[in-house]
Amino acid sequence: MTRETIGKKGNACPCRILRVLCFLWIGFELVLSTCAVAQAQEISVPIDADARFERITPDLEREILLFPEYPDFRDARLFLRPDSTFVLIVEYGRNDSLLHVERLMTKEEVSAFRAEVTGRVRRRVPIASVGGEGRTAFLVTTTGLSTFLYGLLVPSVLEIQDGNEKVGTYLVTAGAGFFVPYLFTRRARVTDAMAVLALQGGVRGALDGLLAAHFLDIDDGTAVSGFVLGASVAELLAGYGIAQASHMEAGKAGIISVGGNFGLGVGLSVAVMVDPKALDKGNALGATGALIGTAAGYASATLMAKKSSYTSGDVDVVSTAGLLGAGWGLTFLTHLERGNERTVACFLSTGAVAGLTVGHFIQRERDFRGVHGTYLRVGTAVSWIAGAGFGTLLSLHNDYNESARIILTTASSLSTITYVWMVSSFANEAQKAWEEKNPAIGFSVSPDWRTASVLTCEGGRMVHLRYPCVTVRLHF
């Protein structure tokens, strides 16, 4: 009786895990089948050259007057078909009925149409074109920093002791975080790049100030608060000004931010590999590693941005790959069953650099959209959490080291599978978007070995020339 009861308990856990895995596998198959059907459908694409608008709303149409022939205009969207052609769908009202018009368009016609939309937006609604979205993100950044950081630091820097004065100072600082930048940028051009570098400077500046106080062995709370507050505000303004002065694109600003952040981590890791106590207070080696790593990260990212044009989606592809690489470095370390500060720093930094390199090559000759990057980032993070959950279920009866090994392995494996799957599902659309902006050089033999075409540029329009035997496709 006792043996039978123990046997049932021993088999219950694997059975439950197998049932869970079966249900998840069925769900995964359903998702794949749904995606396969979705790939055969039309895909909504940006309707302007700057990829800022997915549709033309009635409010925007009243400003740009692109469709005057439809008095009761409702909506206009651009779709990419599976055969690489485009269709423009315009919805309008007539006699209490909703009608729509479909217009088939070639790549050349779409390029001209997008240029027309962008030109009208820039001439008639300049804030919506070049400053609206960037300004919103910038104000969210300053408001968030003032509410969750500056409002807490200012009373400490001013050495305010009274509780009511602290609360009042906090509220004033939090409110100023919105109204001061709002008034300052009311008639200014705020681009997405300026918002990106402002966010990078504000958050990273706070960390830099904290590290500076740590490595200078400063214990006074007021002084530490001053370092954090001063560095954050200074780097926020510096990032804003650099992006403004250099007319930087949002993608370049994003990849430079990623390079600086990963560079800091790699620099600190190298310092730990040299001296395991490099992160101790007052250690000059840790501060040196942080400075050199950050500078190297910014320089490397700038070089990468010169060799390859980055979109906001491309930045997410690269940064997510870097995080996956760091995770795999830590996972491999757990399988060695031995490690110290040096090996942990070595595996983490090596994995991160390898991941960034892979991500850079993945995005080459592809323009991933911002929504692609969001899906990729969220999907990979959720998969890592789910993988850690599977690992926990599979390691209920293992010791601590074995459990950590299983959890990290399943988390890294599932998140990597998700990353590869999502990148593959977006790759074709991203490559087509890149080819529209950057004609590339390529060579191929025609299927029948008799006829082919050369894609060239003449008078600003794309024309086809027929040649025998081979196809030469010129991109420049």
Task: Indicate the domain borders of the chain.
Answer: 1-41, 44-121, 128-248, 280-434, 442-473
Q: Mean pLDDT over all residues of the chain?
A: 81
Distance CA 424, CA 34 (A): 15
Q: What number of CA atoms fall less than 13 Å from residue 102's CA on the CB side?
A: 8
Our measurement of the distance from residue 385's CA atom to the centroid of its chain's CA atoms, rounded to an integer in Å, reads: 19
Q: What is the pLDDT of residue 200?
A: 94
Judge whether 264 and 326 are in contact, CB under 8 Å.
no
Coil, strand or helix at 452: strand
Judge whether 184 and 194 are in contact, CB under 8 Å.
no
Inform me whether the pLDDT recorded for 141 exceeds 80.
yes
Strand partners, 370: none
- The pLDDT of 76-101, averaged and rounded, is 86
- Comparing 245-249, 320-324, 403-407, which segment has the lowest mean pLDDT? 245-249
State the residue for tokens 């939309």: 117
Q: What confidence tier does 230 reach under pLDDT thresholds 50, 70, 90?
A: very high
pLDDT tens-digit map of 383-433: 999 999 999 998 888 888 888 899 999 999 999 999 999 999 999 888 887
Distance CA 288, CA 306 (A): 27
Question: How far lies 327's CA from each of 202, 263, 402, 407, in Å?
Answer: 26, 16, 17, 11
- The pLDDT of 259-285, averaged and rounded, is 90
**Nearest of 233, 87, 55, 68 to residue 157 by alpha carbon:** 233
State the residue for tokens 């491309």: 314
Q: What is the pLDDT of residue 189?
A: 75
Distance CA 284, CA 105 (A): 62
- The pLDDT of 314-333, averaged and rounded, is 94
DSSP state of 461: E
Q: What is the pLDDT of residue 378?
A: 95
Distance CA 420, CA 123 (A): 41
Q: What is the pLDDT of residue 438?
A: 63
Q: Please, what's the b/e burial string for 146-156 (b: 16 or more CB within 10 A of its CB; e: otherwise)?
A: bbebbbbbbbb
State the residue for tokens 């995080």: 323
Q: What is the pLDDT of residue 244?
A: 86
**Nearest of 138, 265, 279 to residue 201 by alpha carbon:** 138
Provide the residue type at 187 as one letter: R
Judge whether 401 and 334 are in contact, CB under 8 Å.
yes
**Nearest of 235, 249, 286, 207 to residue 50 by alpha carbon:** 249
Q: What confidence tier does 30 reach under pLDDT thresholds 50, 70, 90?
A: very low
State the residue for tokens 């749904």: 34
DSSP state of 447: T
Question: How far lies 278's CA from each of 33, 267, 270, 443, in Å?
Answer: 52, 11, 9, 53
Compute how many other C-beta atoms are within 10 angstroms of the C-beta atom of residue 407: 22
Distance CA 143, CA 185 (A): 14
What values do phi and psi take at 78, rounded to 5? Answer: -120, 135
- Write out the H or E segment, with its range, that includes residue 91: strand 86-94
> What one-character-per-residue DSSP string does 398-429 give?
S-HHHHHHHHHHHHHHHHHHHHHHHHHHHHHH
pTM of the model: 0.68
Strand 461-468 to strand 442-445: parallel, antiparallel, or no bridges (unpaired)?
unpaired
Q: What confidence tier does 29 reach under pLDDT thresholds 50, 70, 90?
A: very low
Inform me whether the pLDDT recorded for 466 exceeds 90.
no
Q: What number of CA atoms fall less than 13 Å from residue 176's CA on the CB side?
A: 10
Strand partners, 277: none
Coarse DSSP helix, strand, coil percentages of the chain, rounded to the nearest 5 percent: 70, 10, 20
Q: What is the pLDDT of residue 94?
A: 84
Q: What is the pLDDT of residue 272?
A: 92
What values do phi and psi take at 187, rounded to 5? Answer: -115, 20
Q: Which residues contact 51 (CB under 8 A, 6 or more apart)?
A: 311, 369
> What one-character-per-residue DSSP string does 54-80 give?
SEE-HHHHHHH---TT-TTEEEEEEEE
Radius of gyration in angstroms for the set of CA atoms belonging to the chain, rounded to a whole number: 27
Judge whether 319 and 357 are in contact, CB under 8 Å.
no
End-to-end CA distance of the chain: 80
Q: What is the pLDDT of residue 439?
A: 55
